[in-house]
Structures are given as structure tokens and as C-alpha cells.
């Protein structure tokens, strides 16, 4: 019976250690993210790539039926920047 209790304790500690490890890795990755100020700029509809227009045209009738109207398009920068890593490094 003591061997069984020791085995359960060891397995429990291993699971707890894995949970702490995953949590620590997640926190470390989140701490390396950097926020930057973003700006937006208007974009002419003619400057939008055809592939993007095709994607946006699919829900258009449903959105108009809900009362939405196209006013314009815009472009923004990325808000969150991840640190650069050498190729092949995870």
C-alpha cells in the first residue's frame, strides 16, 4: 500500500511540475511581447487587393440587411511586436 501511495504522490508531483512549467513558459512568452503605438490611414477601394475584396464581398448582403453601410476602408500597423529570433530557433 505504501508503494501505491508513493507512486500516486510522484505522479501528482510530476503533473504539478508540468503545470508550473507550462505556466512559466507562457508568462515568459507574454512578457517578451512589446506594444507599440499604431496609426491608421484611409485606403482607397481601388488600392485593396482583389483577393481581399472577394472575401469582403461574401458577407456584404447580410451586413446590408442588418443595417450596416460601407463608409470606407483603412489600414493599420501591427499593435503587438514579438522579438526577432534567428532562423531555426523556437
pTM of the model: 0.45
Q: Do 3 and 22 fall within a single domain?
A: yes
Rg (CA), the chain: 25
For residue 68, being part of any structural domain is answered with yes
Torsion sign (Cα): 68, 69, 70, 74: negative
- Antiparallel, parallel or unpaired: β 80-81 and 34-35: antiparallel
Mean pLDDT of 7-35: 91
For residue 90, being part of any structural domain is answered with no
Q: Do 78 and 47 fall within a single domain?
A: yes
Q: Do 25 and 39 fall within a single domain?
A: no
Instruction: Give the closest residue to 39 by CA, choosing from 78, 73, 71.
Output: 78
41-62 tens-digit pLDDT: 898 888 888 898 899 889 989 9
Distance CA 64, CA 42 (A): 22
Q: Do 10 and 45 fall within a single domain?
A: no
pLDDT (0 to 100) of residue 14: 95
Q: Do 5 and 19 fall within a single domain?
A: yes
- Domain residues for the domain of 1 are 1-32
For residue 16, being part of any structural domain is answered with yes
Amino acid at each position: 500500500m505504501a508503494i501505491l501511495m508513493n507512486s500516486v504522490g510522484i505522479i501528482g508531483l510530476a503533473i504539478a511540475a508540468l503545470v508550473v512549467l507550462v505556466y512559466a513558459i507562457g508568462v515568459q512568452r507574454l512578457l517578451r511581447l512589446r506594444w507599440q503605438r499604431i496609426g491608421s490611414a484611409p485606403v482607397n477601394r481601388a488600392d485593396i487587393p482583389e483577393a481581399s475584396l472577394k472575401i469582403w464581398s461574401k458577407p456584404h448582403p447580410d451586413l446590408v440587411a442588418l443595417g450596416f453601410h460601407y463608409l470606407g476602408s483603412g489600414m493599420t500597423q501591427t499593435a503587438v511586436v514579438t522579438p526577432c529570433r534567428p532562423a531555426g530557433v523556437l
